[in-house]
Amino acid sequence: MTPQSNEKRPLAALLVPDLLELLEEAPESLGPQTEEMHPADLADVAEALPEASVRAFFAALGKERAAEVLEYLDEDLRTQFLEELTAREAASIVAEMNPDERADALEELDEETADEILSELEPAEKAETERLLAYEPDTAGGLMTTEFVSVNEDLDVEAALSSVRAMARAGRREAMYAIYTTDILGRVRGVLSLNELLAAPEGARIADLAWSEVVTVSPNTLQEEVSQLISNYDLVTLPVVDEDRRLLGVVTVDDVIDVIQEEGTEDAQKFGGMEALEEPYMQIGLWQNVRKRGGWLAVLAVGEMLTASAMANYEGEIAGVPMLAQFIPLVMSSGGNSGSQATSLIIRAMALGEVRLGDWWRIVLRELPAGFILGLLLGTLSVARIMAWQAMGLYDYGQYSTRIAIAVGISLVGIVTFGSITGSMLPFVLRRLGFDPASASAPFVATLVDVSAIMIYFSMAYLMLSGRLLN
Amino acid sequence: MTPQSNEKRPLAALLVPDLLELLEEAPESLGPQTEEMHPADLADVAEALPEASVRAFFAALGKERAAEVLEYLDEDLRTQFLEELTAREAASIVAEMNPDERADALEELDEETADEILSELEPAEKAETERLLAYEPDTAGGLMTTEFVSVNEDLDVEAALSSVRAMARAGRREAMYAIYTTDILGRVRGVLSLNELLAAPEGARIADLAWSEVVTVSPNTLQEEVSQLISNYDLVTLPVVDEDRRLLGVVTVDDVIDVIQEEGTEDAQKFGGMEALEEPYMQIGLWQNVRKRGGWLAVLAVGEMLTASAMANYEGEIAGVPMLAQFIPLVMSSGGNSGSQATSLIIRAMALGEVRLGDWWRIVLRELPAGFILGLLLGTLSVARIMAWQAMGLYDYGQYSTRIAIAVGISLVGIVTFGSITGSMLPFVLRRLGFDPASASAPFVATLVDVSAIMIYFSMAYLMLSGRLLN
Q: Are residues A311 and A391 in the same domain?
A: yes
Rounded to an integer, what distance in angstroms lies between the CA atom of residue A233 and that of residue A217? 13
Distance from CA of A17 to the nearest CA of B (A): 22
Give how many domains chain B has, as a whole number.
3
CB contact under 8 A, A261 and B352: yes
**Considering only alpha carbons, which residue of chain A is nearest residue B373?**
A290
Given a contact cutoff of 8 angstroms between Cβ atoms, the answer to whether A282 and B354 are in contact is yes
Rounded to an integer, what distance in angstroms lies between the CA atom of residue A445 and that of residue A458? 20
Contacts of A175 in chain B (CB under 8 A): none
- Angle B175-B181-B187 (CA atoms, 0-180°, nearest 5)? 105
Rounded to an integer, what distance in angstroms lies between the CA atom of residue A322 and that of residue B321? 10
Distance from CA of B112 to the nearest CA of A (A): 30
Contacts of A435 in chain B (CB under 8 A): 3
Distance from CA of B116 to the nearest CA of A (A): 30
**Considering only alpha carbons, which residue of chain B is nearest residue A211?**
B36
Given a contact cutoff of 8 angstroms between Cβ atoms, the answer to whether B113 and B78 are in contact is no
Q: Establish if A18 belongs to a structural domain.
A: yes
CA dihedral of A24, A29, A33, A38, whole degrees rounded to 10: 80
Rounded to an integer, what distance in angstroms lies between the CA atom of residue B361 and that of residue B352? 19
β-sheet bridge partners, residue B193: B178
Q: Establish if B271 belongs to a structural domain.
A: no
Q: Furthest-apart CA pair in chain B: how many Å? A: 97
Contacts of B263 in chain A (CB under 8 A): 1
β-sheet bridge partners, residue A181: A151, A190
Contacts of B377 in chain A (CB under 8 A): 294, 297-298
Distance from CA of A216 to the nearest CA of B (A): 13
- Chain centroid, CA A235 distance in Å: 20
Q: Establish if A471 belongs to a structural domain.
A: no
Q: In 3D, which of B144, B79, B7 has the Cα closest to residue A359? A: B7
Contacts of A369 in chain B (CB under 8 A): 286
CB contact under 8 A, B345 and A36: no
Q: In 3D, which of B426, B447, B446 has the Cα closest to residue B437? A: B426
The shortest CB-CB distance from A374 to any of B293, B334, B454 is to B293
Q: What CATH number did the domain enclosing B352 receive?
A: 1.10.357.20
**Considering only alpha carbons, which residue of chain B is nearest residue A213?**
B36
Given a contact cutoff of 8 angstroms between Cβ atoms, the answer to whether A371 and B22 are in contact is no
| DSSP tag of B276 | P
Contacts of A312 in chain B (CB under 8 A): 323, 326, 395
Distance from CA of A307 to the nearest CA of B (A): 7
CB contact under 8 A, A231 and B431: no
3 state DSSP class of B380: helix
Rounded to an integer, what distance in angstroms lies between the CA atom of residue B283 and that of residue A288? 41
Q: Are residues B73 and B124 in the same domain?
A: yes
CB contact under 8 A, B304 and A215: no
- Chain centroid, CA B160 distance in Å: 39
Q: In 3D, which of B419, B456, B329 has the Cα closest to residue A335? A: B329
| DSSP tag of B282 | G
Contacts of B199 in chain A (CB under 8 A): 165, 168-169
Contacts of B395 in chain A (CB under 8 A): 309, 312
Q: Which of B281, B401, B412 best probes binding to A when mutated, by most A CB atoms within 10 angstroms?
A: B281
Determine the angle formed by the axes of helices A123-133 and A111-120, rounding to 10 degrees: 150
Domain boundary among the residues B234, B252, B270 is at B252
Given a contact cutoff of 8 angstroms between Cβ atoms, the answer to whether B342 and B419 are in contact is yes
Whole-model pTM over 0.90: no
Ranges under pLDDT 70 in chain A:
1-14, 171-175, 467-471
**Considering only alpha carbons, which residue of chain A is nearest residue B305?**
A330
**Considering only alpha carbons, which residue of chain B is nearest residue A162?**
B198
Tell me if ipTM is over 0.85.
no
The shortest CB-CB distance from B168 to any of A198, A230, A450 is to A198
Range of the domain at B387: 281-465
CB contact under 8 A, B325 and A329: no
| DSSP tag of A135 | S
* Cα distances (Å, whole numbers) of residue A182 to A191, A219, A243: 9, 18, 15
CB neighbours of residue B362 within 10 Å:
12
Q: Are residues A321 and A364 in the same domain?
A: yes
pLDDT of residue A99: 86
Q: What CATH number did the domain enclosing B73 receive?
A: 1.25.60.10
- The pLDDT tens digits of the residues spanning A354-410 come to 888 888 888 999 899 999 999 999 999 999 988 888 888 877 777 788 888 999 999
Distance from CA of B43 to the nearest CA of A (A): 11
- The pLDDT tens digits of the residues spanning A180-218 come to 999 988 899 999 888 888 888 888 899 888 888 889 999
Q: Are residues A155 and A128 in the same domain?
A: no
Rounded to an integer, what distance in angstroms lies between the CA atom of residue B107 and that of residue B114? 7
Q: Are residues A405 and A374 in the same domain?
A: yes
Q: Establish if A266 belongs to a structural domain.
A: no
Distance from CA of A352 to the nearest CA of B (A): 8
Residue B124 identity: A
Domain boundary among the residues A227, A260, A293 is at A260
Q: Are residues B291 and B200 in the same domain?
A: no
CA dihedral of A221, A222, A228, A229, whole degrees rounded to 10: 10
Rounded to an integer, what distance in angstroms lies between the CA atom of residue A451 and that of residue A453? 5
Contacts of B300 in chain A (CB under 8 A): 333-334, 337
Contacts of B319 in chain A (CB under 8 A): 319, 322
Q: Establish if B38 belongs to a structural domain.
A: yes
pLDDT of residue B12: 57
pLDDT of residue B117: 93
Q: Are residues A42 and A103 in the same domain?
A: yes
Residue B337's contacts (CB-CB under 8 Å, 6 or more residues apart) are A273, A296, A297, A300, A301, A443, A446, A447, B419, B446
Q: Establish if B261 belongs to a structural domain.
A: no
* Cα distances (Å, whole numbers) of residue A235 to A203, A224, A229, B40, B147: 27, 15, 8, 11, 18
Q: Are residues A163 and A231 in the same domain?
A: yes
Q: What CATH number did the domain enclosing A160 receive?
A: 3.10.580.10
Rounded to an integer, what distance in angstroms lies between the CA atom of residue A140 and that of residue B5? 13
CB contact under 8 A, A326 and B338: no
Q: Are residues A156 and A130 in the same domain?
A: no
* Cα distances (Å, whole numbers) of residue B303 to A82, A382, A402, B179, B448: 54, 11, 22, 56, 8
CB contact under 8 A, B434 and A336: no
Residue B99's contacts (CB-CB under 8 Å, 6 or more residues apart) are B125, B128, B129, B132, B145, B146, B147
CB contact under 8 A, A345 and B381: no
Q: Are residues B198 and B325 in the same domain?
A: no
Number of A:B CB contacts under 8 A? 444
pLDDT of residue A2: 31
**Helix spans in A220-325 (H):** 223-232, 253-271, 286-312, 315-320
Q: Establish if A5 belongs to a structural domain.
A: no
Q: Which helix (H) or strand (E) covers residue B36, if one does?
A: none
Residue A277 identity: L
Contacts of A5 in chain B (CB under 8 A): 221-222, 225
Distance from CA of A74 to the nearest CA of B (A): 12
Residue B399 identity: Q
The shortest CB-CB distance from A290 to any of B195, B362, B370 is to B370
Distance from CA of A459 to the nearest CA of B (A): 16
Domain boundary among the residues B104, B134, B164 is at B134
CB contact under 8 A, A443 and B382: no
Burial A425-444 (b: 16+ CB within 10 A, else e): bbbbebbeeeebbbbbbbbb
Distance from CA of A448 to the nearest CA of B (A): 11
Contacts of B271 in chain A (CB under 8 A): 268, 271-272, 344, 442
Rounded to an integer, what distance in angstroms lies between the CA atom of residue A77 and that of residue A101? 15
CB contact under 8 A, A381 and B307: no
The shortest CB-CB distance from A199 to any of B169, B329, B352 is to B169
Rounded to an integer, what distance in angstroms lies between the CA atom of residue B111 and that of residue B377? 60
Residue B203 identity: G
Rounded to an integer, what distance in angstroms lies between the CA atom of residue A177 and that of residue B176? 9
Q: Establish if B266 belongs to a structural domain.
A: no
Mean pLDDT by 10 residues, chain B (471 residues): 35 70 84 84 86 88 91 88 91 90 89 91 91 90 88 91 85 73 91 86 88 91 89 90 93 88 80 76 80 82 81 80 86 88 85 82 91 92 89 80 91 94 91 80 84 89 75 49
Q: In 3D, which of B321, B266, B257, B271 has the Cα closest to residue B467? A: B321
CB contact under 8 A, B349 and A282: yes
Q: Are residues B295 and B415 in the same domain?
A: yes
Contacts of B138 in chain A (CB under 8 A): 2
pLDDT of residue B379: 92
**Considering only alpha carbons, which residue of chain A is nearest residue B396?**
A312
Distance from CA of B119 to the nearest CA of A (A): 30
CB contact under 8 A, B4 and A225: yes
Q: Are residues A168 and A106 in the same domain?
A: no
By DSSP bridging, strand A247-252 and strand A237-241 are antiparallel
Q: Furthest-apart CA pair in chain A: how many Å? A: 97
CB contact under 8 A, B329 and A307: yes
Residue A106's contacts (CB-CB under 8 Å, 6 or more residues apart) are A94, A114, A117, A118, A129, A133
CB contact under 8 A, A312 and B323: yes
Residue A353's contacts (CB-CB under 8 Å, 6 or more residues apart) are A228, B4, B6, B8
Residue B66 identity: A
